[in-house]
Amino acid sequence: MINGELLEVDAHDNMPLLWALRDVLDMTGTKYGCGKGLCGACTVHVDGEAVRSCTIPISALEGKEITTIEGSAVNPILEKVQDAWYVTDVPQCGYCQSGQMMSAAALLAKNSNPSQDAIHSAMNGNLCRCGTYVRIRKAIRAAADNLDQNAN
């Protein structure tokens, strides 16, 4: 299941999810950054957990539920995160931001009111060469406040 849709992928078992998404399924929102789980650009959710899609072969994903940056329609928290990213004017080049938003959405799904420390530990694996970290912190707070208002 990818973003609520049952999909069959015609690719080699060892192909990492990242490349199946990008080259086979044409879902290019998920980005190649380092290929070794070091930068977080390829972050997606597998059964709700933020994982690096560049290191998971597709054979390990049968029956799993995958959410990508394209999945905001089926993931309201991700949608709120995307809105917060936009109004906070977070992205510069934007290349790492899919992964940043996926990590942030996974954090907020578990902790709707994260402290600075919680934000740091959830986001420390996501690199941004443009240096948008200050705004990422702000946007996560904004998304959390927004979720909080909705919950009330």
Partner 1 sequence: MERRNFFKITSLAGGGLLLSTYLPLACTSTEVPNIDWEPNFFIRINSDNTVTFICSQSELGQGTSTGLAMVAADELGVSMDKLKVEFGQGSTERYGDVQDTGGSNGLRIVWPSLREAMATTRALLVAAAAQKWQIDVDECYCEDGHIHRKDQEGQKLAFGEVLEIASTLPAPREIKLKEPSEFRYIGKSVLGPKTKMAAKGTTPYSINKKLPNMLYAAIARCPVWEGSLTSFDATEALKVPGVVEVLEVEPTELQTTDYKGGVRPGVAVLANSTWAAFEGKKALKIEWEMGKNGLKSSATIQQELADNYKTPSKANINLNDATTLFGRSSKVFSAVYDAPFQANACMEPLNATAYHRGHKVEVWSGTQAPQLTRDRVAELTGLPVAAVTVNNPPSGGGFGRRYFCDFVEEAVILSEKVRVPVKVTWSREDTFLTSKYHPITKDYWQASLDANNYPIAIKYRGSIGRPGAYRCYPYSIPIAFYDYLKYKDGWLLPRASWRSVYAHPWGLGLESFMDELAQNANEDPLQFRIKMLENAEVVEQKELPWVGDDLYPAKLKNTLEMVAEKANWDTTNDGIYQGVSAMGYNTSYVAMVADISVENNQVKVHKVTAVIDCGLAVNPSQVKAQIEGSIMWGLSATLKDGITVEQGHVQQSNYDTYDLMRITDAPDIEVHIVESNDTPSGTGEVGVPGVAPAILNAVYAATGKRIRQLPITASLLESAVS
Q: Which residues bind partner 1 (CB under 8 A)?
A: 11-12, 15-16, 19, 22-24, 26, 28-36, 38-39, 41, 69-70, 72, 82-83, 85-87, 89-98, 101, 119-121, 123-124, 126-137
CB of 149 to partner 1, least distance (A): 20
Helices (H), 44-111: 76-87, 97-110
C-alpha–C-alpha distance, residues 95 and 146, integer Å: 25
CB of 23 to partner 1, least distance (A): 4
Instruction: State both tokens at 7.
Output: 């999909």
CB nearer to partner 1: give 71 or 109.
71
Q: Of 16, 24, 6, 63, whose CA–CA distance to 44 is shortest?
A: 16
CB nearer to partner 1: give 91 or 109.
91
CB nearer to partner 1: give 68 or 152.
68
Cα atoms in the 13 Å half-sphere on the side-chain side of 77: 22
CB of 152 to partner 1, least distance (A): 25
* 55, 36 contact by CB (below 8 A): yes
C-alpha–C-alpha distance, residues 55 and 25, integer Å: 17
C-alpha–C-alpha distance, residues 49 and 102, integer Å: 10
CB of 50 to partner 1, least distance (A): 14
CB nearer to partner 1: give 46 or 127.
127
CB of 12 to partner 1, least distance (A): 5
CB nearer to partner 1: give 24 or 46.
24
Secondary structure letter of residue 29 according to DSSP: T
